[in-house]
Amino acid sequence: MSLLYAGRHAPNQPPQALVTAAQERPDHGRGVAATWSYTLGSIVFVIVALTGALLLVAAENFAGSPSALEAVLLCLSLVAAGVQLRYCWFLRVGLAGGLPRPAWTAALLAPAAAVWVLGLFAPGAGVVTSFPLWIAVCLIACVIPARQRWMLLAAGLAAVVGQPLLAAALTGQEWANPLGSSGWLLPLYGVLLPAMLLSGLWWWEIVVELDRNRRAAAELAVAKERLRFASDLHDIQGHHLQVIALKSELAERLLDLDVEAARANIHETRIIAKQALEETRLLVAGYREVALDEELENAREVLSAAGADCDLNVDALPADAELHRALAMTVREATTNILRHSSATRAAIRLRVTPDGCSLSISNNGVSAAGDADDTRGSGLAGLRERVAALGGQLDAASDGDSFELRVQVPARVGAAA
């Protein structure tokens, strides 16, 4: 018995995994909850049909030969039918979900077992008095582990088959079929009862699993969008804040040497800060579009202002919008890394569009060992790698002495010329 109750829980309370997956939400009321209603309705219908047939036979036996034994059999059959219908609600835990409290299982088995025992001494009752126990066994088999399930069903089947044989041996009367010429229908439905219950619960678990996967997919989509937003925000703020820091430092140095130049740099800092604020607002609103040509020009201007001789060599821009955006983000991130991690005096940006694909190369000198490690492993480049990989391309970073180069290759199916 301890094995059977290993997965025990409170009445009508599914295990936590099924509870989480099967909770009803207002926006999909015809989803999991509706599926369980259909499943429960079909199970209840079959149980009502079988127990109704059994009760009719018990009532006919009592009407034909009223006796205390027949009256007790009829009352116990009614009790057994009521408990069996109530027990159907516990099947929501799914296959092998665990038995409810022992009191409910005892209440399910006790009247059915009493009918089975009394049926041994009821002349002409036959197989009818063994069916309540068979229905109870089938209901219990649904919620216990598979190995115990088949053992319990085998024992229940043996009890159904052996009951009329044992009754004939005890009373000395030959076995009689109380159902008449249609007596084969009830045994047939009884044999099919486990298959119906198990298949219905199997389908219910499939629906629960599909709903769990749907919710997981929705959560992953939200997480992916958050990562994309964080990556874009990093690109915007990291780039502009680095330029603001550079302009502010330059203005501070020029205050004692050239006030007008310092004022011009302060003015540009204010403009860049306003631009960063506006782009952040547009990003939050979901309207921000990155122009590759503008990013290329901005990169040359910023690097030149930082004291690096920047060589910009660009062919025709690619036509694909997603590639446009990915390359623009790559230029922005690479420029930010050059300003942050190097003391570059030379930089080169080359964009090529050929029939074989599109390639972008950004190189610079003045890289220290620590700066090279940061450039290669930074979270910004990791996000760019994912963005480029989604387009079927590849992003590589390599260093040679104090030089560093960032390369992006995208196949021709995406990088077609405009």
Per-residue pLDDT tens for 32-86?
Answer: 788 888 888 888 998 888 888 888 877 777 777 777 887 888 888 899 999 999 9
For the chain, the domain total comes to 2
CA–CA dist 406, 396 (Å, integer): 6
pLDDT of residue 218: 65
pLDDT of residue 172: 65
Phi-psi region of 364 (alpha: psi -120 to 50; beta: other; left: phi over 0): beta
> For 29, phi and psi rounded to 5 degrees?
-65, -20
Assess if residue 114 is contained within a domain.
Answer: yes
Do 77 and 157 belong together in one domain?
yes
Domain finish residue from 160, 183, 217: 217
Do 130 and 233 belong together in one domain?
no
pLDDT of residue 124: 62
pLDDT of residue 343: 83
List, for residues 20-39, the tens digit of each pLDDT value: 444 444 344 446 788 888 88
Eight-state DSSP code of residue 65: S
Burial of 63 (0-12, 13-18, 19+ CB in 10 A): exposed
The number of beta carbons lying within 10 Å of the beta carbon of residue 79 is: 16
Contact 122, 73 (CB under 8 A): yes
CA–CA dist 414, 327 (Å, integer): 12
- Low-confidence residues of the chain, pLDDT below 70? 1-31, 123-127, 171-184, 218, 221-222, 225, 284-290, 369-380, 413-418
Report if pTM > 0.85.
no
Per-residue b or e along 381-398, where b marks 16 or more CB atoms closer than 10 Å to that residue's CB: bebbbebbeebebebebe
CATH code for position 242: 3.30.565.10
pLDDT of residue 120: 83
Do 29 and 62 belong together in one domain?
yes
Do 77 and 96 belong together in one domain?
yes
Assess if residue 90 is contained within a domain.
Answer: yes
Assess if residue 391 is contained within a domain.
Answer: yes
Three-state secondary structure call for residue 298: helix
Domain hosting residue 46, numbered range: 16-217
Do 307 and 174 belong together in one domain?
no
Residue 359 half-sphere exposure, CB side, CA atoms within 13 Å? 10
pLDDT of residue 12: 39
Assess if residue 11 is contained within a domain.
Answer: no
The stretches of 306-368 forming alpha helices (DSSP H) are 321-341
Do 277 and 171 belong together in one domain?
no
CA–CA dist 265, 254 (Å, integer): 9
CA–CA dist 408, 4 (Å, integer): 61
What is the pairing mode between strands 346-354 and 309-314?
parallel
Assess if residue 4 is contained within a domain.
Answer: no
Do 21 and 170 belong together in one domain?
yes
Do 30 and 173 belong together in one domain?
yes
Do 321 and 194 belong together in one domain?
no
Do 246 and 372 belong together in one domain?
yes
Do 293 and 207 belong together in one domain?
no
Domain finish residue from 217, 249, 278: 217
pLDDT of residue 138: 92
